[in-house]
Amino acid sequence: MITDARALRHEYVPQDLHHRGGQIDHLSSVLAPSTVELSEDVCLFGPSGAGKTTIAKYTLAQLERERLDIRWGYVNCMADNTPAAVLHELVRDVGLGADLRPEGAARSRAIQRLRNSDDRLFLVLDEVALLDEETLIALWEVPNVSLICITIDEDEWFTALSSQAKSRMQSAATVRLHKYSHSELVDILDSRVVHGLVSARVADGVIEQIADIAAGNAREGIAILRQAAMHVEEREMQELTTAVVDAVVEDAAADIRERRVRSLGTHQRLLLRIIEEAGSIDSGTLHARYEAQAQSPKSKSTRRRYLRSLCRYELIDRDGSTRGTRYIAV
């Protein structure tokens, strides 16, 4: 059934992207201007599953094939949300930090590695709303670095920034993505089938059914397709049918949730565990328990960013506001 498992992973970057040509062209013109001007910074906004990370990686991979003087790196600030971890991952990913160790990668040393490079550096900051502002500004100030900042909620991120950081990031070029339409998501899933499965063993109506369930979220659609293909393989079935899709929808949702939990940093995971253990907990008690259990507690403003991200990714629910806020386990 499965001919290439890579095509069933959400992080897989296909050779051709469907229905994002305009955004890719815009991003390419910003990152590789035809004049001698330096590349701009870019902010990518859009809902989960809209392809933000994919088009950033796709565009940079295309650019890397065309030019010898660029390098690019990627970091997910959801997982690496300490300054040392973010900078170490970026320096390592652009090939400038093989000898650096996370515990020894001081901010100034890592920034200097980037600054000393003769190449143009493009740094993708996924889940940038979780990155501390000081690190963001330090990267912004490196002359040979262009930032590609990715987050879901544009207003929430800008509201949380200081006036200094906000003015700088609002000067960046902006690419906004919408949810995929039903027909667009069908095309994306069809492409994954062609590249990853035996198409003849996928029954009529399956892709349309998955697109209906995913409702414009490519991440969810690909997760359902992957779970359905695994279900057929493991049970040595002849065909992937609509009944198989019905059987794996909950497994796909659980798989997405598990992957998100695995991607969390230490402090986010601790906050999530406290909420799950309580079932429902008021804000004051949550912060008190966190401070009692964390080795080096983060500031309250940072914790609030973490809690917003947990809500955004449907790992917890939130009820109320200010002092009356309660966090509820999902």
Report the SS3 class of residue 315: coil
Beta strands in 64-133 (DSSP E): 70-76, 120-126
* pLDDT recorded at residue 85: 85
* pLDDT recorded at residue 293: 96
Structure tokens at 133: 């502002």
Tokens 């001919």 label which residue? 3
Write out pLDDT tens, residues 163-208: 989 999 999 999 999 999 999 999 999 999 999 999 999 999 999 9
> In b/e form, how buried is each residue of 140-149, taking b as 16+ CB within 10 angstroms?
bebebbbbbb
Beta strands in 77-228 (DSSP E): 120-126, 145-151, 173-176
The answer to whether residues 127 and 78 touch, using CB atoms and an 8 Å cutoff, is yes
CA gap 8, 240 in Å, rounded = 14
Q: What is the pLDDT along the chain (330 residues), one digit of tens a residue?
A: 999 999 998 888 888 888 998 999 999 988 887 655 667 899 999 999 999 999 999 999 999 988 888 899 999 998 766 788 899 899 999 998 777 765 545 678 889 999 999 999 999 999 999 998 999 999 999 999 999 999 998 998 999 899 989 999 999 999 999 999 999 999 999 999 999 999 999 999 999 999 999 999 999 999 999 999 999 999 999 999 999 999 999 999 999 999 999 989 899 999 999 999 999 999 999 999 999 999 989 989 889 989 999 998 899 999 987 778 999 998
* Domains of the chain in sequence order: 19-176 (3.40.50.300), 182-261 (1.10.8), 264-329 (1.10.10.10)
CA gap 237, 299 in Å, rounded = 53
> In b/e form, how buried is each residue of 234-254, taking b as 16+ CB within 10 angstroms?
eeeeeebbeebbeebbebbbe
Q: What is the reported pTM?
A: 0.90
The answer to whether residues 148 and 42 touch, using CB atoms and an 8 Å cutoff, is yes
